[in-house]
Structure 1
Amino acid sequence: MILTVTLNAALDLTYRLPEVRPHASNRVRTVSGQAGGKGINVARVLAALGHAATVTGLVGGPTGRAVRAELAEAGLPDELVEVAGETRRTVAVADDRDTTVLLEPGPEISPPEWRRFLAHYEHLLPGASVVVLSGSLPPGLPVDAYRGLAERARAHGVAVVLDADGPALVRALPARPAVVKPNAHELAAATGTADPAEGAERLRAAGAEAVVASFGPDGLLALTSEGRWRARPPEAVAGNPTGAGDAVVAALALGLATGLPWPERLRRAVALSAAAVLAPQAGRFDAEAHHRLLTLVRTEELGRTHPQGEACP
C-alpha cells in the first residue's frame, strides 16, 4: 500500500467556459467538484492504475465532510484526521486556452491536532511500502512538518516521495527522502540557481537521494545515485495541466514501490503526466492516450551523477 499524506486537503471545484473575460461577467458552462489536494490526486491516479493507495491528512467542517463523502464515493480508503477548522476550497477556471487556479490557505491547525495526526500517522506506517508527502502546509504547522514525517517513515523503513516547495522542501531534505520532485520554478527558488542540473545536485547534496525535476511540456530531468536521465513527451498536448505533477508523483511512487529501473520509471511518469493534461480534472488521466504514449516516450541517459554537490542555501 502507498500512503499519501495531504495536510492541506481541499474540495476542488472546476468551472469550465469557452473563454474567460477579465473584468466582466463570465457564464460558466459546467461545474464539477471532487476531493483534492496533491496527495489525494496522487492516490486517485494510483487507484486508476490498479494499485492500493490510502489517503491520510487533515480535514474539517462541512467542506471536510464533503471531501470525505466524495472519497467514499470514489472508493479511496480514507484515514483522514478531523480538525476544528474548515477545509479549504480551490477553484480552477478553465477555458479553451488555459486554466487559472484560485487557492484558499486552509484551516489553522492547533498543536494538539498536529500531535493527534502524528500518532495516527505512526499507526499507519507499518502497512505502507511508500509514503507520498505532497502539497502545501496549512497555517499553524511547523515549517519542518515534512521533515518530521519523513524521519518517522524512515524509522519504519518506508521510502518517501516528497513534492513540496519553499522552506517546507528545504527543511525536509536532511531526512533523506528517496525522491524529491520540484518543478522548474520550485527548483530554482529552493537552490538559488537557474541551472536545473546544478539545482538538482544541490538538493541531492542537502539530503535528497534522487531528484526528479519537472518542466511541463519539456518533460523530466532525473539525477540519482545511479545516473542522470532526461525524458520528454513525444508530442505537445493541450488541456488542463493542474494535475500533471501529481501524475508524475504517482508514477514515481509506484516505480519505487515495485522496484522499476529509473529509465522505465521516467518513461511511465512522462506518459502519465501527458495523459493527465488531457483529462478535465486533477487526479485523472486519459487512459487511451496513456497507453499510446507509453510506447512513444524515450529516455536519454546524460551520464553519471556527481557524487557531491553544493548544498542548498
Structure 2
Amino acid sequence: MRALTVTLNAALDVTYRVDALRPGATHRVTDVAVRAGGKGVNVARVLCALGVPVLATGLAGGAAGAALRDDLARSGVPEAMFAIAGETRRTVTAVTGSGQATLFAEPGPAVTPAEWSDFLVHYAELADEADVVVLSGSLPRGLPPGAYATLVRATPAPVVLDADGPALALGAAARPAVITPNRGELASASAVDDPLALGAAAALVSDGPDGMTAHTSGGVWTAAPPEVLTGNPTGAGDAAVAALVATWHLPWPERLAEAVALSAAAVRAPLAGDFDRAFYEKHRAGIVPRPVPED
C-alpha cells in the first residue's frame, strides 16, 4: 500500500497553549509548537506513525514553505512539495487548559494559472505510483472550485476527498472512492440527506464527539468514541482519513471502527498529526459499529 497525500493549501502551524481565551485580553502563552501542517500533511504524519508508506505533496512557497519542508524532513515524512512563488500560509491555534481550541487560518498564497498547470504535470507523475490518493483541505486563492474534481479525474488510483463547500460538491461529482465531510460541510454542499447522492462511492460523515457514520453501497453503519473526550480536535478528521487509508482492504465496519478510534486518539494528542497510541490500542476493540436500518 503506497499512499499519496495532497495539500494544496499547506500551512505552517503554530499552536499556542494558554490558560484561557478571553477576547480583548492579553494572553500569556505557556507553550509554543511550530510544525508543518495542512490536512493532507497531518494525514501523512499519521500514516507514517502507522507504518504505511506515504508521500506528501502539495504547494509550498516562501520562507514559511521552506520551514514547512524542513520540518517534514526532520519529522521523517517523505515529501515532494511543488514550489510556488507565493508565501505559504500560517495557522495559529490557541488551546486552553480545558482543551478548547480556537483556530486562526490565513487565506494562503495566490496560485497562478501557470503554477497550477505545472503542478498538474507534477501530480500526474506521483499519482501514477500511488495505490490510494488523499486530497485534503481548502483551496488557495487562484485555484478554481473544481480543482479537486480535476485531480480526481486525473487519478488512476482510488481517491479519498476531504473538502467542503463547492470544492466538495464538484469533487464528489467526479466520483472519488470516499468523501469525508462533517455534518455541517455535508449540509453546505447539498440539500440532499444521502451523501452518496453527491457522486462518491462511499462517505464517512463525522458528527464530532458523537461519532461517525459510514454510508456505502453495501449498507450504513455508525460508531461512537469510547468516552467523552477533551483535548485538541483540530487533527481528528485527518486521523480518521489516515485510518481509512491504512485499512483500505478491510470491510467497512472495521474501517469505521478504526477511524473512530484513531480520531479519538488524535483528540487526546496535543498537536494535529499526532495521536495517543496507548489510548488507541486500549479502546479500539471496544468500538463496535452498528448497522443503521434503511428508511
- Would you say 1:67 and 2:59 are equivalent positions? no
**Following the alignment from structure 2 to structure 1, what is the Cα–Cα distance between the partners of residues 197 and 177?**
13
Shift of 1:17: 1.4
**Following the alignment from structure 1 to structure 2, what is the Cα–Cα distance between the partners of residues 235 and 21?**
28
**Following the alignment from structure 1 to structure 2, what is the Cα–Cα distance between the partners of residues 174 and 185?**
18
**Following the alignment from structure 2 to structure 1, what is the Cα–Cα distance between the partners of residues 173 and 165?**
15
Identical aligned pairs, as a percentage? 53
**1:268 aligns to what?**
258
- 1:281 paired residue among 245, 249, 271: 271
**Following the alignment from structure 2 to structure 1, what is the Cα–Cα distance between the partners of residues 235 and 202?**
22
- Would you say 1:292 and 2:282 are equivalent positions? yes
**1:36 aligns to what?**
37
**2:245 aligns to what?**
253
- Would you say 1:21 and 2:22 are equivalent positions? yes
- Cα shift readout 1:27-73 (whole Å, capped 9, x = no counterpart): 10010011000000000000001111100000000000000000000
Gaps of 5+ in 2: none
Aligned AA (2:169): V
**Following the alignment from structure 1 to structure 2, what is the Cα–Cα distance between the partners of residues 275 and 234?**
10
Shift of 1:233: 1.1
**2:50 aligns to what?**
49
Gaps of 5+ in 1: 193-197, 307-313
- Would you say 1:225 and 2:230 are equivalent positions? no
Provide TM-score, normalisation by structure 2: 0.97
Assess if the C-alpha contact under 8 Å between 2:223 and 2:287 holds in 1.
yes
Q: 1:77 aligns to what SS in structure 2?
A: coil
Aligned residue pairs, count: 293
**Following the alignment from structure 1 to structure 2, what is the Cα–Cα distance between the partners of residues 215 and 204?**
17
**Following the alignment from structure 2 to structure 1, what is the Cα–Cα distance between the partners of residues 96 and 42?**
21
Assess if the C-alpha contact under 8 Å between 2:161 and 2:172 holds in 1.
no
**Following the alignment from structure 1 to structure 2, what is the Cα–Cα distance between the partners of residues 8 and 69?**
17
Shift of 1:127: 1.2
**2:79 aligns to what?**
78
Aligned AA (1:241): P
**2:136 aligns to what?**
134
Shift of 1:303: 3.6
**Following the alignment from structure 2 to structure 1, what is the Cα–Cα distance between the partners of residues 236 and 172?**
23
Shift of 1:187: 1.0
**2:180 aligns to what?**
181
Shift of 1:96: 1.3
Q: 2:186 aligns to what SS in structure 1?
A: helix
Shift of 1:175: 1.4
Shift of 1:189: 1.1
Shift of 1:204: 1.4
**2:163 aligns to what?**
164
**1:310 aligns to what?**
none
- 2:154 paired residue among 146, 149, 152: 152
**1:90 aligns to what?**
91
Assess if the C-alpha contact under 8 Å between 2:20 and 2:97 holds in 1.
yes
**Residue range with higher mean Cα deviation, 120-129 or 132-141:** 120-129
In the TM superposition, 1:185-204 aligns within 5 A as 185-192=184-191, 199=193, 201=194, 203-204=195-196
- Cα shift readout 1:249-284 (whole Å, capped 9, x = no counterpart): 11112222xx01001000010000000000000000
- Would you say 1:237 and 2:229 are equivalent positions? yes
**Following the alignment from structure 1 to structure 2, what is the Cα–Cα distance between the partners of residues 303 and 3?**
35
**Following the alignment from structure 1 to structure 2, what is the Cα–Cα distance between the partners of residues 205 and 243?**
27
In the TM superposition, 1:3-18 aligns within 5 A as 3-18=4-19
